[in-house]
Chains A and B, each alone.
Chain A
Amino acid sequence: MSASVDAISALKAKFPQITDRASRDCPAIDVPTSEIFAVLKALRDDAGFDLLSDVTAIDWAEGASPRFTAVYHLYSTTSHAAVRVAAPCAGDDAAPTVPSVVALWPGANWHEREAFDMFGIKFTGHPDLRRILMWDGYPYHPLRKDFPLAGIETVLPDAEVAEETKAKVIAAPMMGGPFVTSSGEINLTEAEPRAKDESWSERSEKPSA
């Protein structure tokens, strides 16, 4: 791990705005959005963190500032050290932005598409920012905290099939715990405080969005 610590102290001399990030394992840093590309480039070229393990994002829920944080996990194939780099996303809730790192690691392409798909984060400079897991044209970003676990009723991706079958993508009834089946007359929505998605079920009205 000392390789990561050395790399980070060298990096701090170059980018004074970097701050330490709380972590329970590998060293981690917080980087301002404007410098994230330069910092990751420096980590790749100077410190030998050549393998991008993962790019993801965190939604800190509505009202938090910054609401979205992009997180990068880097790994060095030579020193076997790991480092976590986090950057808050700029922009408003509807369209948070962060610079793309596809130019540094082509493997970031799919990771960034996934983060865009799931959180709606715009990676500026990404060559092909499309949805990857959900279908093109899906209107929501499912991993945002304001998206209910049950899902939201949506039209089918194929207009022709939708027209023909009148089928829709419907929200799954939760019954008070997504993974608990109903038994008898007990209202599990009330009985199971653990279930996060208790705002509505088939027994209580869905609040108007």
Chain B
Amino acid sequence: MATEVSFPDRAAKVADAEQEFAAEKMSLSMGPSHPSTHGVLRLQMELDGEVLTKCDPVIGYLHRGDEKIAENMTYNQFVPYTDRLDYLAPLANNMAYAIAVERLAGLEVPARCQAIRVLTAEMARVSAHLMGLGAFGLDVGAWSVLVHSLNQREHLYKLFEELTGARFTTSYTRIGGVTRDVPEGWLGRVIGFCDQFEPALEETLSLLTRNKIFLDRTVDVGVITKADAIAYGLTGPNLRGSGASLDLRKDKPYSGYEQYEFDVPVGSKGDCYDRYLCRGEEMRQSVRIIRQVIAKFPGGDWYAKDARKIFAPPKDKILTSMEELINNFMIVTEGPQMPAGEVYFEAENPKGALGFYIVSKGGGVPWRLKIRSPSFCNLSILPKVCAGTMISDVVTLLGSLDFVMGECDR
């Protein structure tokens, strides 16, 4: 203050400069290739100093027309495309799509198949949350979390590779079953993974949960109220972080989720820290589910044997039996035969509710297939939450929303 009195000219200059800057807003384009936009999201921002006055997400850089493609191919051929939606959890996407088509066909899959799907979906959830956690840590400056979580994901990838033949885009689920039964000894190795993962997870989370820098960056940042979260159609950990106890695995159980005991973690404030805590706890619950699935792993068939016009018969049958050969030929050329009708199925994926809306006119090709992607809905709240926050908090917010552009743009 004293300096202002003794140098009135300077005070006037400062005031002038402040006024000049106050009137001028800067527009800044962040992305589409920016490390903290986790893919190809572009944020068209309007800044007043360091404070955002407007934020307009620009999406579509990864639009591949999956829905158009789906209308032009048979139901089975679309399975690999579902891998590329949320590419961090392809096994969960495969399952959601398969169940949607099975509901359309009115098909029930055997208990063993359901258990395999739940098991793989929960492993995919752990893998997706680990990546989300690592990337979130990286966004707020905690590099070592990413290294720890990538290490654990590598263990999971090895298990996926053994089960499906692929590490990343697995295409494991088929309509009416899965591609193959679990390999011998594989379930034991999954248990082995869980045994080493649980302490490792605690160690990884302990790097962040009580970390002063992390708390400063995340607590009370990017608050999404429960009412807003519901109004914008948020799902998954982002909705639960805001205090809504909604989990489709509990509320509308599918694939036998009602048999397993697990808790649904819920946040209280809806800030970035709550969303982080929810994801951390969900991983613990997923491991709990994995252990239960393996403990009562049912025997029997791993594909629906009665689904003759839907699930291709085993290869040895195709090569030896005329009827199976014809059957296989028809499924490959005409596609699995579906009745006419409409069906909408949502599964609780790592990122939220992944929905498939299928309109069928009968035959092997859908008339319309709409993918309701959780990342798309979760990102639509950005203009609302970003307004008035600091630009450095946008990075934190994006990390905590944990989106995947492959799914958002489809």
Contact = CB atoms under 8 A, between A and B. Distances in A.
Interface stretch (B27-35, B201-209, B255-263, B367-375): B367-375
B115 to A, nearest CB: 23
Contacts of A75: 346
Contacts of A25: 103, 343-345
Contacts of A135: 60
B74 A58 contact: no
A132 B59 contact: yes
Contacts of A82: 252, 344
Interface stretch (B63-71, B130-138, B150-158): B63-71
Interface residues of B, number: 51
A134 B291 CA distance: 44
A84 B372 CA distance: 14
Contacts of A111: 233
A136 to B, nearest CB: 10
B89 interface: no
Nearest to B226: A77
Contacts of B410: 133
A179 B60 contact: no
Interface stretch (B161-169, B305-313, B353-361): B353-361
A107 B384 CA distance: 11
B377 A133 contact: no
Interface string B58-85: 0110010101110111100100000000
A197 B72 contact: yes
B341 A23 contact: yes
A196 interface: yes
A196 B341 contact: no
Interface in B318-346: 333-335, 339, 341-346
Mostly helix, strand, loop or mixed at chain A's interface?
loop
Interface string A167-209: 0000000000011000000000000001111000000000000
B225 to A, nearest CB: 12
A58 B251 CA distance: 28
A179 B72 CA distance: 10
Interface residues of A, number: 45
B368 A59 contact: yes
Given A52-B233, A73-B344, A134-B63, A196 B72 contact: yes
Interface string A144-171: 0001010000000000000000000000
Contacts of A179: 73, 77
B333 A133 contact: no
A15 to B, nearest CB: 21
Contacts of A50: 230-231
A118 B409 CA distance: 12
Interface string A61-97: 0000000000101010100101010000000000000
B68 A149 contact: yes
Nearest to B341: A24
Contacts of B72: 149, 178, 195-197
B285 to A, nearest CB: 19
Nearest to A134: B60
A5 B100 CA distance: 22
B233 A24 contact: no
B376 interface: yes
Contacts of B341: 22-24
B372 A77 contact: no
A195 B333 CA distance: 10
Contact of A24 (B106, B230, B252, B334): B106
A84 B344 contact: yes
B186 interface: no
B376 A110 contact: yes
A107 B106 contact: no
B365 interface: yes
A118 B344 CA distance: 20
A53 B233 contact: yes
A110 B345 contact: no
A23 B357 CA distance: 11
Contacts of A147: 68
Contacts of B343: 23-25
Interface in A96-115: 105-107, 109-111, 114
A10 interface: no
B104 interface: yes
Nearest to B358: A24
Contacts of B60: 131-135
Contact of A196 (B333, B365, B377): B365
A178 B69 contact: yes
**Candidate in B69, B74, B357, B381 with the most chain A CB atoms within 10 angstroms:** B357
Given A84-B344, A107-B380, A149-B68, A51 B103 contact: no
Contacts of A38: none
Contacts of B187: none
B72 to A, nearest CB: 4
A159 to B, nearest CB: 18
Contacts of B384: 106
A21 B365 CA distance: 22
A179 B376 CA distance: 27
A197 B72 CA distance: 8
B277 interface: no
Contacts of B290: none
Interface of A: 21-26, 28, 50-54, 56, 58-59, 71, 73, 75, 77, 80, 82, 84, 105-107, 109-111, 114, 118, 131-135, 142-143, 147, 149, 178-179, 194-197
12 contacts: A26-B344, A53-B346, A56-B357, A58-B367, A71-B370, A77-B244, A80-B251, A110-B380, A142-B65, A149-B68, A149-B69, A194-B334
